[in-house]
Amino acid sequence: MRVLVTGGAGYIGSHTLLELLAQGHEVCVLDNYTNATPEVLTRVRTLSNRTILDYTGDVRDASMLDKVMQDFMPEAVIHFAGLKAVGESTEKPLYYYDVNVGGTLALLRAMGRAGCRRIIFSSSATVYGEPIYLPYDEAHPTAPTSVYGRSKLMAEGILSDWAAAQGDVSAVLLRYFNPVGAHASAQIGEDPKDVPNNLMPYIAQVAVGKREALTVFGDDYETPDGTGLRDYIHVVDLARAHVAALDYAANHAGARHFNIGTGQSYSVREMVRAFEKACNRSIPTQQAGRRAGDIAAMQADPRRAAAELGWSATHTLDDMTASTWAWQSANPHGYDT
């Protein structure tokens, strides 16, 4: 299938490109490089030994979208392009709604003009908000507590209404839990532009000597060791979920959302210990209070994806930490060669 991947030079997008190419799909990338670098595609091309058509542009740009659609004629779109920093979203709400919601609207309009009828959307478990019960299944009520989460839920609603109105289109909405890890080659991985907001890249930068110590946000949660629990999922498992979603979209009309997690959660302290085992060095930590907006525990019920997408995560915690360390130690400055 010809697949347009918006945001394809990003962390999850680049890993998904490799899985798509490995399954024989033809891919095209549209990225504006606000949170990525062209070096990523150079490495993906080398790793896959395949040609990848790519365009530099913004997913909100209708004329750019029309050019890509006319040149490549995608049979499906995987829509990663978006902003994802929870804290920044609170400071810049209009920017986040413009990109995450406006960009999705512009893309759907361009797909309509081009007759493209399938989309896989990069959503987030953050749409659930505070858990009423755990693990979260897809029936759990949604009540996002950040602009970022609300922007994702709005985009989900637009996609659902579009699918209902069109009838012969498919929208698969993937609610990611916590993506971590890197490709086995250690040539691609997570490379945050500034100080990492997320736990795993921050730990990796401490391990490689780029940061002094990890600040542990909160040790008084109602969890076994008092620190936050999350359902971490290896990025290659997450990438494979997109390939499975593509196959599902080819055979199902309408909109359907899926939790993409492992069903297992780990605490901050468990992640630190696992990483120390992977890198064989101590990770200094300092204790701080809870981070605003953080939830004590998140964990996926991944049964719907297993039953309907035929997909389940297979990578272990050791795979997540070892692959992150391999990437970070081989690329101490990320893609800045």
Nearer to ligand WQD, 64 or 206 (CB): 206
Report if residue 90 touches ligand WQD, rule: CB under 6 A: no
- Whose tokens are 């069109």? That residue is 166
Strand partners, 136: 300
Closest CA to 193 of 45, 59, 333, 41: 333
Report if residue 86 touches ligand WQD, rule: CB under 6 A: yes
Q: Which two tokens stand for residue 232?
A: 């971490």
E strand or H helix that includes residue 79: strand 76-79
- Chain centroid to CA 138: 18
Which region among 17-25, 155-163, 198-206, 313-321 touches ligand WQD (by CB under 6 A)?
198-206
Total residues interacting with ligand WQD, rule: CB under 6 A:
20
Find the helix packing angle between 317-330 and 268-279, rounded to 10°: 60
Cβ neighbour number for residue 307 with a 10 Å cutoff: 11
Which region among 88-96, 131-139, 208-216, 247-255 touches ligand WQD (by CB under 6 A)?
208-216
Cβ–Cβ < 8 Å for 270, 215? no
Cβ–Cβ < 8 Å for 136, 298? yes
Which region among 26-34, 92-100, 211-219, 237-245 touches ligand WQD (by CB under 6 A)?
211-219
- Residue closest to ligand WQD (Cβ): 228
- Whose tokens are 């698969």? That residue is 172
Q: Any catalytic annotation for residue 266?
A: no
Which amino acid does the sequence have at 257? Answer: H
The footprint of ligand WQD on residues 231-270 (CB under 6 A) is 268
Exactly one of 100, 126, 299, 324 binds ligand WQD (CB under 6 A); which one? 126
Least distance (Å) between residue 181 CB and ligand WQD: 13
Exactly one of 43, 90, 217, 303 binds ligand WQD (CB under 6 A); which one? 217
Nearer to ligand WQD, 268 or 313 (CB): 268
Which region among 24-32, 213-221, 247-255, 316-324 touches ligand WQD (by CB under 6 A)?
213-221
Nearer to ligand WQD, 66 or 294 (CB): 294
Q: Which string of x and - marks every residue 289-328 that binds ligand WQD (by CB under 6 A)?
A: --x--x----------------------------------
Report if residue 198 touches ligand WQD, rule: CB under 6 A: yes
Terminal Cα distance for the chain, rounded = 34
Report if residue 84 touches ligand WQD, rule: CB under 6 A: yes
The footprint of ligand WQD on residues 158-177 (CB under 6 A) is 176
Query: What backbone phi and psi angles, to 5 degrees, belong to 203?
Result: -60, -45
Least distance (Å) between residue 85 CB and ligand WQD: 8
Q: How many CA atoms lie within 13 A of 57 on its CB side?
A: 19
Phi-psi region of 292 (alpha: psi -120 to 50; beta: other; left: phi over 0): beta
Catalytically annotated residue among 148, 176, 202, 232: 148
Q: Which two tokens stand for residue 227?
A: 């620190």
Report if residue 230 touches ligand WQD, rule: CB under 6 A: yes
* Distance set, CA 205 to CA 110, 235, 252 (Å): 40, 18, 42
Alpha helices in 136-198 (DSSP H): 147-166
Least distance (Å) between residue 165 CB and ligand WQD: 28
Q: Which residues make up the interface to ligand WQD (CB under 6 A)?
A: 84, 86, 124, 126, 176, 178, 197-199, 202, 214-218, 228, 230, 268, 291, 294
What positions carry a catalytic annotation? 148
